[in-house]
Chain A
Amino acid sequence: MIVAAPLVAFVIILLTGRWQWQGGAIWTIGAVGLSFVFALGLLIEALLNGAVGGTFPAQEVIWYRWLGTPSSGFVIEFGILIDSLSVVILALVSFLSLLIAIYSVGYMGHEKDKARYYSQIALFVSGMLGAVAANNFLQLLIFWEIMGLCSYLLIGYWYHKPEAAAAAKKAFMVTRVGDVLFLVGVIAVFVIFGTFNILEVSALAPGLPLRMTLIVPLLFFAGAIGKSAQFPLHAWLPDAMEGPTTVSALIHAATMVNAGVYLAARTIPLIVTNVNASLFIAFIGGFTAFFAATMALANHDIKRVLAFSTISQLGYMFLGLGAAGYALNLGLAGAQEGYSAAIFHLANHSFFKALLFLGAGSVIHAVATNDMRKMGGLHKRMRITSLAMLVAALSIAGVPPLSGFWSKEGILAATFAASAGNQLFFWMWLLGILTVFMTAFYMFRLWFMTFWGKPRWENEPRESPRVMTVPLMILAVFAVGSGLVIFPLGGFGNLIYPLVAGAHAEFTAPLDILIRTFAGPNSFLTYISILGVAAGLGWATLIYRMGAISPDSLTAGPGRRALHTLLKRRYYIDDAYDAFGRRFVLGIARLSDWFDRNIVDGLVNLVARLTLWAARGTDLVDRRAVDGVVNSISLRTLRGGRTLRRGQTGQVQTYVAVIVIGAAIVLFLIQIVFPLLGVP
């Protein structure tokens, strides 16, 4: 029902949306709302049935048999898997999608082709819900790709813009590289375990053959890298900003990128089978968090800054998952909570990132540009948007007690704890702290550049209508408060604990959480990170609010300018991909095409020409040898043919010639080759 409602809305809008109010927006909103109601019901049910404490049992509902027969041992049954992980994400996704859909009514109000927009949004949401609720990896993959399709279509919503068309293609292509590896992973799992069912695979995972323990989790992780835009498949996400801002919000907060994290969380039973797999995931996460944050420093496009920040924040989540996997493998204490901290961060990030994007949308709606250099001083004009963005910025920067603080702390604490097993985790923790500093800096750079300082806009901006600001206010409440659920849940490990044998959930009293965070033996970690936030915030204030340091001084000097250019060009990775595609792959393609037309086909034509000469020879012999009567009859037939069918004269002779040659070859075979082979 959760999945089906938006799917039905998609079909309805597809067929009739053109003639409805706002292109059938009401169907999308209604359907997603319905999904949310059901998902919320499930969540409450889970909470009442012992989800806190980790005793909520996983349940499966089978829909129908997709492929395979029971007798052949090859069965794929589609259905739904409900456990504490999927319940949380379902509720989260449907809630955010609902807010975004409502906001769209205002934001997309002036667009022409709204039926297309709303139908694809509905399909997108059902893709995400379907992927999260899937009971088997193949179904997950199918909905995963439906999401990929919708992101393609929605990023290319303004298809007449060449940049949008290019960005859409890029998004699909880059994620597809990951998807293919994911597909191989799914196939490998099936061949090893004989099932696609997630619960069965999870149960069998410890029996993964040793030589597959590294490759299988990493194949799955490749899918997550693509969808969640981690290094080195991160290139599509900043370009994906060519779509409407609401689509960006949907991709960044509710669907798409969260799916990658979900997949990694889902496959944790496979990941823990190998220490190096966990290490790799943590490393990619930690590195991406840092790497993307650096690129966010040097961008002037408000949406691109947010896109880089998403990549960076998702990196944190993978860092947490990797640390948890590592700890689970070695039985380390204290780091397992990275798992639930990562999911927790996923939820918090979704709230404040949706808020940031919708806020940015509100700004873009008002000033009609993405360029922060053309904004400034908007605070007085758009108080609600400005304050909502401030809340979100504080939250993402990790200022206590806003939501971002709690989950980010959890991840960093888990990473630090994992360094007991491997020094690398210490360096990744350090990267994480540096990222905290940079995050605070670039977020406040964004906020100050947009809302303070001298007005640099050309038209007269106005606050957005209610239908847009009310979702902002709701989200602001969550961005402040969603971190606090940690207290009633009794710590991270309780609602969502890793689905691995040996993982356990402990209830920590609220006071103990506070003590652990601020006064425990490891509380110095908390203070270091708060220091990082303060430094980033302070520096941004000095430069962009007080004007104490000129922003230009940051790019003064050849070294700094080179660094700035490097960041601005995104480390030239996009250019390298582009060159690889354009020069290398297309070059090979052109070369192959030339080879095909000239060498392969040239040979064919040569053979044909030789045959034609032979045919002419045979034809001559034929005319002289064959008796005149037959000849004249055949000629007459040919002429008859000519009058009947103008247009293919001459070819009939070839036909005749070929058949004659053919007969000769057959005779040759029967007379000479067959006896040699001993054919009777």
Chain B
Amino acid sequence: MAAFPILGLALFLPAVAAILVYLFARRDATARLGALIASLVPLAVSVYLLIGFLRPDLIPLALDPIQGRYRAFEEASWIPQINVFYRLAVDELSFSLVLLTTILVPLAMIYSWNQKKRVPEFFALLLLMETTMLGVFMSLDFFLFFVFWELQLVPMYFLIAIWGGPRRRYASIKFFLFTQAASLLVLLGIFVFYFYMGTGVDAFNMIAIIETGPIPIGVVQDLLFVALLIGFGTKLPMVPLHTWLPDAHVEAPTAGSVLLAGVLLKMGAYGLIRVNVQMIPEAATTLFWVFAVIGTISILYGAIVSLAQDDLKRLIANSSISHMGIVMLGIGASMHAFNNGTAGVMGISGAIFQMFAHGLISAALFMLAGSVLHRLGTRNLSELGGIMNRMPLLSWLLILAFLASLGLPGLVGFVAEFTVFLGTYEAFGLWVLLPILTVVLTAAYYLWGIQRAVHGPFRESLGEPRDIALYEVLPLVVLAGLFVLFGIFPAPLMDLFNTWTTSFFQAFGGI
């Protein structure tokens, strides 16, 4: 029996549903419910895949023919003239992000339940976002990958431009231009791969590129590395190409922020690992210091800038820069550990875990920031104060999310940071003291934030706010549950990532 294309189902069902919702949903309630149901299908597929990854004996997934590492493989010819294929599969790396995406989209929808403005379009765009994001992670054909990579800009752009805050025009254009310019470099990189693979063969096949490693070692790889680093790094975002992020976040509607921080940033990290590390590993090992240095700068710079923020959402956005820096540091640590002749598993595994952890945590943080604005009319810490007195539920969830983000042991963020720092020590020794400073800085800005906004006497100028409603609590409680779950039982997920990293280094070491 030919395998049922479950990835294709997860990928296109939201898009189809988006069109249906946009065209046919007359009432807001129908649109909401329809969109939510449609977004649950990919989640079901994710769970199915998870079982397939953890227990291959229960659910055997179709493997790719070249490396036998990519599961739920499906392929069809698309544009035969230039050897473009429709080719989907997931490995442990992309699966973690598929899982993250499919978790976050339904939660973002539930959170947006009381969205009043142009409801069918809003939910249709969220569904469209899901398709494009999943497409980026699932595609193993460069052409297809880039199509989704570019398409993904469109729904996000409209989400910011229509439902955004007062400076939405500036922010949406900035977002668009930044990522568009970065995309060009990615496209350029894809062409380089294509031409080196040789036209006429299956030259967009990402698995084949990983398998053969077509780019000659030396200047070409290094140049390509830098181009792709800028391309993917802008999305990450890395300092100094990060300034689009705070603006985009501040203006984006909450659901947009959730997906922006939760998933879109991970596309950059995914690109770095999938392309920079996996396809030109020699350049990535020689230029390990670029990862490490930029990572460390992003970590500290993001944290320090966060300390000076008054707008809660800007604070969280800057902390995202800091936390995504940890991903880069982890990659750099792994590559250098490999130079030193050790396995170097911890760095990249930790980086992947950090992507997953940060996705969950930042989603919760942005939801909370949205609720603060919605209920209190301001997000400025200097105008807030003592909200614990009137809104205990919101306050406790905010404290919990802050604690998760500052890497409190026992919650999910700690596992990731700890593993990355472990890898960093392994690779760089006591230099780890430099990036690990962020642990103190992060605690400082979050605790100071709590002190100013949550604790203290209630500020009467905030009126008589009501505590958050069920549609806000529900997704937050789910996320909080996941923080604890993966904080206490990280092994199943981390095993997956370790498997990925180990097999990567085996393949690379064997070249």
Contacts and interface: CB of A to CB of B under 8 A. Distances in A.
Interface of A: 64-69, 72, 74, 138, 141-142, 144-146, 149, 152, 156, 159-162, 164-166, 168-169, 172-173, 176-177, 179-180, 183-184, 187-188, 190-191, 215, 581, 585-586, 588-590, 592-593, 596, 600-601, 604, 608, 611, 645, 647-648, 651, 654-655, 658-659, 662, 665-666, 669-670, 674, 677, 679-680
Interface in B182-196: 183-184, 187-188, 191-192, 195-196
Nearest to B448: A169
B184 A173 contact: no
Contact of B443 (A176, A191, A669): A176
A74 B409 contact: no
A674 B410 CA distance: 51
A160 B188 CA distance: 57
B431 to A, nearest CB: 11
Given A604-B178, A651-B169, A662-B184, 14 more contacts: A67-B419, A74-B498, A146-B409, A156-B455, A159-B456, A165-B455, A177-B440, A184-B430, A585-B307, A648-B162, A651-B176, A658-B180, A662-B180, A666-B191
A666 B456 contact: no
Contacts of B478: none
What 3 A-B pairs have minimum CB-CB distances, sorted nearest first?
Answer: A165-B455, A589-B307, A593-B308
B443 A666 contact: no
Interface in B419-469: 419, 421-422, 425-426, 430, 432-433, 436-437, 439-440, 443-444, 447-448, 450-451, 454-458
Interface string B219-249: 0100100000000000000001011100000
A190 B162 contact: no
Contact of A589 (B192, B304, B450): B304
Nearest to A77: B491
Contacts of B415: 67
Contacts of B389: 160
Contacts of A592: 301, 304-305, 308
Nearest to A149: B408
A172 B447 contact: yes
Nearest to A591: B308
A169 B451 contact: yes
Contacts of A72: 343, 345, 498, 502
A624 to B, nearest CB: 25
Interface string B382-398: 00001011000000000
A190 B432 CA distance: 14
B418 interface: yes
A68 B491 contact: yes
B172 interface: yes
Interface in B56-114: none
Q: Which of A142, A180, A596, A600 has the most CB of B within 10 A?
A: A596
B409 A645 contact: no
Interface string B152-192: 00000010011000000100111011101101100110011
A182 to B, nearest CB: 11
Contacts of A177: 440
A161 B457 CA distance: 7
Interface residues of B, number: 77
A169 B308 contact: no
A64 B432 CA distance: 29
B307 A586 contact: yes
Contacts of A608: 173-174, 177
Contacts of B306: 589
Contacts, number: 183
A677 B223 contact: yes
B439 A191 contact: no
B301 A160 contact: no
A191 B347 CA distance: 13
B52 interface: no
A666 B454 contact: no
Interface string B465-488: 000000000000000000000000
A160 B494 contact: no
Contacts of B304: 588-589, 592
A67 B491 contact: yes
B184 A611 contact: no
A166 B447 CA distance: 9
A396 to B, nearest CB: 33
A666 B188 contact: yes
Contacts of B410: 142, 145-146
Contacts of B433: 184
B384 to A, nearest CB: 13
A665 B494 contact: no
Given A74-B346, A601-B243, A645-B162, A191 B425 contact: yes
B243 A183 contact: no
Given A65-B491, A674-B195, A183 B418 contact: yes
Nearest to B169: A651
Nearest to A130: B410
Contact of A160 (B243, B440, B456, B502): B456
B5 interface: no
B308 A586 contact: yes
B490 interface: yes
A145 B447 contact: no
Contact of A666 (B184, B242, B440): B184
Given A67-B419, A585-B444, A679-B195, A184 B432 contact: yes
B421 A67 contact: no
Given A183-B421, A593-B308, A666 B187 contact: yes
Q: Which of B173, B178, B242, B386 has the most CB of A within 10 A?
A: B173
